[in-house]
Amino acid sequence: MSAPLSPWHKSLNSPLSARRAAAMALAGVLNGQSLNQCLPPLEARVDSADRGFLRDLVLGGCRHYQRLHALAKILQTRPFGDEDQDLSALLIIGLYQLAIQGKAPHAAVHATVEVCEELGKGYAKSVLNACLRRYGREYESLLPPLDDNPVTATSHPKWLVKMLSKAWPDDWQAILQQNNERPPLCLRVNRRHGSRDDYLARLTSAGIDARAAEFSADGIYLTESCDITQLPGFAEGDFSVQDEAAQLAAQLLAPQAGERILDACAAPGGKTCHLLERADARVLAVDIEESRLGRVHENLARLQLQAEVICADIGAPDDWWDGEHFDAILLDAPCSATGVIRRHPDIKLLRRREDIEQLAEVQARLLDTAWNLLKPGGRLLYATCSVLPQENSEQIQNFINRHTSVGLTELDFPWGKACNAGRQLLPQPDGHDGFYYALMLKEG
């Protein structure tokens, strides 16, 4: 006779409180899942009025995990075991409410402790209660020592602090600070449906405060986050959500009418669509993850655009390439995503130091492959949402050393920092994310 299911597994459709869902999502991250994997199904089981609170708890718990985990270790006489990862996560969620959100104990402690019952682990209520109550009594003495260590002061893993401080000695502290801030909401106006000025006027008429982006010709920042589906023209495809730094890709590649363009690693399709918004080009969008290509099709349909979309490994062209060379290629390469941590704070828990070398090897392979698919006289734009030189300027310098036909275009713009090769954007307050670009021409 099989053992009865735990309360956790009784129903995959039963309603969840925001705090329970937050603990389950954070436990998923601690077990190696990304928030993109574990949060959506849990979010669907939470009352719509509480989903904003849920996301705040989960993103905040990830964003400040290293600091809160250090606090948890101090407060616990004995840590929870591996079988109680959900309780470890719940303690982090409780500490986030007290130490970061600044909620009064009477408003947060009881509600958090009661989640133990929801998880079927009522035996842990006294332990959780004791930890959270102790924090409320002793926080003035508990917090100062955490500020002396950059890992717990900034909630970043040690390896990343070391790499950033070495790569950006004048900027690393600002990068770490921005990684812990909430990112602004940036739109990209579909210029086929109207100008940016026209859409700004529509937002003003709707009582929505917004401003034009400084560097992207199609970008608009909203002062306050909102439900984007309620903005004017969403269903009609008049705009998309896309960070300003990411919008620079189409601006730099400058697609022309009739050109055959490859968007490698295209999902979820934001850059594919932006290329098509700017020119009547023939765009082939390729991505290795079929599960993500649905988003590409959805975006194309909503924006009323057309591209050829295939699921394939860019690095194995014999499996998908028809032999016709491309006029231009956008290679938005797989990377550490260290430039978008503020949007995806689970990166700080999931990424490892050894990942960087492995990613650099993949990037080098894809660069070499893409170069062989490019026409003589064609252009290749290499992009990542990383701020690490190993994936960016050093990667491109190594590429140039391997190929004699590379002409590197100087990117002299009022954004980012010039590197030995290409240009690096770092995350900015109320502005763009971290991104890297290098534009190369194939000579001969």
> Known catalytic residues?
385
Structure tokens at 405: 């036909």
CB within 8 A of 196, min separation 6: which ones?
189, 212, 217, 218, 219, 220
Structure tokens at 146: 């955490």
Assign 435 to helix, strand or coil.
Answer: strand
Q: DSSP labels for 136-160?
A: HHHHHHHSGGGGGSHHHHHT--HHH
Q: How far apart are CA 192 and CA 243, in angstroms?
A: 19
Q: DSSP labels for 65-134?
A: HHHHHHHHHHH-SSPPPGGGHHHHHHHHHHHIIIIIS---HHHHHHHHHHHHHHTT-GGGHHHHHHHHHH
Nearest alpha-carbon partner for 251 in 381, 423, 384: 381
Nearest alpha-carbon partner for 328 in 271, 413, 245: 271
Structure tokens at 82: 């591996």
Are 422 and 382 in contact by the 8 Å Cβ rule? The answer is yes
Q: How far apart are CA 432 and CA 213, in angstroms?
A: 9
Q: What residue type is assigned to position 195 of the chain?
A: S
Structure tokens at 157: 């893993």
Burial 31-49 (b: 16+ CB within 10 A, else e): eeeebeebbeebbebbeee
Structure tokens at 444: 């001969």
Q: DSSP labels for 179-236?
A: HTSPPPEEEEE-TTT--HHHHHHHHHHTT--EEE-SS-TTEEEESS---GGGSTTTTT
Q: How far apart are CA 103 and CA 55, in angstroms?
A: 17
Q: Kindly list the distances between the CA atom of residue 155 and the CA atoms of 62, 211, 341, 392, in Å, as whole numbers in the listed order.
A: 9, 31, 12, 24
